[in-house]
Structure 1
Amino acid sequence: MSEPYLNAAGMTGGYGTGADILHDCTLTVNKGEIVVIVGPNGAGKSTAMKAVFGMLNIHTGSVTLDGQDITSMSPQARVSIGMGFVPQTQNVFTSMTVEENLEMGAFIRHDDFRETMEQVYELFPILRDKRNQSAGELSGGQRQQVAVGRALMTKPKLLMLDEPTAGVSPIVMDELFDRIIEVARTGISILMVEQNARQALEIADKGYVLVQGRNRFTDTGQALLADPEVRKSFLGG
Structure 2
Amino acid sequence: MSAPFLIGEAMTGGYGSGADILHDCTIAVEDGEIAVIVGPNGAGKSTAMKAVFGMLNLRSGSVRLGGEDITALKPQERVAKGMAFVPQTNNIFTSMTVEENLEMGAFLRRDDIAKTIEQIYELFPILRDKRRQAAGELSGGQRQQVAVGRALMTRPRVLMLDEPTAGVSPIVMDELFDRIIEVARTGISILMVEQNARQALAIAHKGYVLVQGANAFTGTGAELLADDNVRRSFLGG
Please provide the CA RMSD for this pair: 0.4
- The SS at the match of 1:51 is helix
One-letter code aligned to 1:111: D
CA–CA distance in structure 1, aligned partners of residues 31 and 184 of structure 2: 9
Shift in Å at residue 71 of structure 1? 0.2
The number of equivalent residue pairs is: 237
Note the 1:43-122 alignment, pairs <5 A: 43-122=43-122
Aligned to 1:19: 19
Shift in Å at residue 7 of structure 1? 1.4
Aligned to 2:235: 235
Aligned to 2:146: 146
Shift in Å at residue 235 of structure 1? 0.1
Aligned to 2:8: 8
Aligned to 2:137: 137
User: Which stretches of structure 1, 4 residues or more, deviate above 4 A after TM superposition?
Assistant: none
CA–CA distance in structure 2, aligned partners of residues 85 and 151 of structure 1: 7
Shift in Å at residue 163 of structure 1? 0.1
Shift in Å at residue 2 of structure 1? 1.2
Q: Deviations over 1:135-183 (max 9, x none)?
A: 0000000000000000000000000000000000000000000000000
Aligned to 1:219: 219
Note the 1:154-169 alignment, pairs <5 A: 154-169=154-169
Bigger Cα displacement from structure 2, 170-179 vs 108-117: 108-117
Aligned to 1:176: 176
**Identity rate of aligned residues, in percent?**
79
CA–CA distance in structure 2, aligned partners of residues 151 and 219 of structure 1: 28
- The SS at the match of 2:149 is helix
Shift in Å at residue 211 of structure 1? 0.1
One-letter code aligned to 1:143: R
Q: Deviations over 1:5-55 (max 9, x none)?
A: 001100000000000000000011110110000000000000000000000
CA–CA distance in structure 1, aligned partners of residues 130 and 32 of structure 2: 29
One-letter code aligned to 1:77: E
Provide the TM-score with structure 2 as the length reference. 1.00
Shift in Å at residue 64 of structure 1? 0.4
Shift in Å at residue 79 of structure 1? 0.3
CA–CA distance in structure 2, aligned partners of residues 34 and 169 of structure 1: 22
One-letter code aligned to 1:147: A
Shift in Å at residue 59 of structure 1? 0.5
One-letter code aligned to 2:232: K
One-letter code aligned to 2:212: Q
Q: Deviations over 1:62-86 (max 9, x none)?
A: 0000011100100000000100000
Aligned to 2:32: 32
Shift in Å at residue 56 of structure 1? 0.3
Q: Deviations over 1:198-221 (max 9, x none)?
A: 000000001000000000000000
Q: Which runs of 5+ in 1 are unaligned?
A: none
Aligned to 1:209: 209
Q: Which runs of 5+ in 2 are unaligned?
A: none
Shift in Å at residue 3 of structure 1? 1.2
- The SS at the match of 1:96 is coil
- The SS at the match of 1:207 is strand
- The SS at the match of 2:9 is strand
Shift in Å at residue 4 of structure 1? 0.7
CA–CA distance in structure 2, aligned partners of residues 198 and 31 of structure 1: 23
Provide the TM-score with structure 1 as the length reference. 1.00
